[in-house]
Chains A and B, each alone.
Chain A
Amino acid sequence: MKLEDIQSRIESNIPGAKAEVRDMGGGDHIHAVVVADAFAGKPLIEQHRMVLDLFKAEIDLNDVHALQLKTLTSGQAKEMGIE
């Protein structure tokens, strides 16, 4: 699955999300940093589930073997110096 497709699927499904997607090697180990205020007030596990659920089909088909996530609200992103 192409990185741009992963990014656009995240950004079009999670309101106000900004995603930065990188390939950790091999094309199926993907790392995504997702900044969205839709995460505010949600436990980390729910934040990750919001993103993972978008790729259930690809994960089951092993197109995406592993999707490592860093989820943040815009406030947390600013604190960490991520635009």
Chain B
Amino acid sequence: MSDVVKKVEEKIKSKDAVIFMKGTPSFPMCGFSARAVEALKAVDADFDFVNILEEADMWEGVKQVTSWPTSPQIFVRGEFIGGCDITLEMYESGDLEKKLQ
């Protein structure tokens, strides 16, 4: 397993939720990243982020791990749940909150 994939694997287990996004939670650089962050905040998730605009290696690494081409990418309890639209659907259905309990 390459170093960067190992770094990604460690990162996604470091908190209840982790979002690979463009920008930061306080300064998201893309509407989809912003909306996904809002959902995580709305369920009081203890989450961390990776700014893929500044950590290109982590971005390449996470795409290998998930084989998912777009950003943002959201992990809950170490499991990849999808991008912005799936995260919002899970938020609206209550599944996001359930997964974080």
Kindly specify which of A2-10, A14-22, A62-70 makes contact with the partner chain: A62-70
- The answer, yes or no, to whether A60 is at the interface (CB within 8 Å) is yes
- The answer, yes or no, to whether B84 is at the interface (CB within 8 Å) is yes
Given contacts A66-B30, A66-B32, A68-B32, contact A48 B69 (CB under 8 A): no
A70–B28 CA distance with the chains assembled, in angstroms: 23
Given contacts A59-B70, A66-B30, A66-B32, contact A48 B85 (CB under 8 A): yes
Q: Are B81 and A52 in contact (CB under 8 A)?
A: no
Return chain B residues, CB-CB under 8 Å to A67. 70
Q: Are A48 and B86 in contact (CB under 8 A)?
A: yes
- The answer, yes or no, to whether B80 is at the interface (CB within 8 Å) is yes
Interface string of A46-83 (1 = CB under 8 A from B): 00110011011001100000111110000000000000
Considering only residues 46-71 of chain B, those with a C-beta below 8 Å from chain A are 67-70
A48–B82 CA distance with the chains assembled, in angstroms: 9
Where the two chains meet, the residues of B that have a C-beta atom closer than 8 Å to any C-beta of A are 30-32, 67-70, 80-86, 89
Where the two chains meet, the residues of A that have a C-beta atom closer than 8 Å to any C-beta of B are 29, 44-45, 48-49, 52-53, 55-56, 59-60, 66-70
9 residue pairs, one from A and one from B, having the closest CB atoms: A59-B69, A45-B82, A56-B69, A68-B85, A44-B86, A66-B32, A69-B85, A52-B69, A59-B70
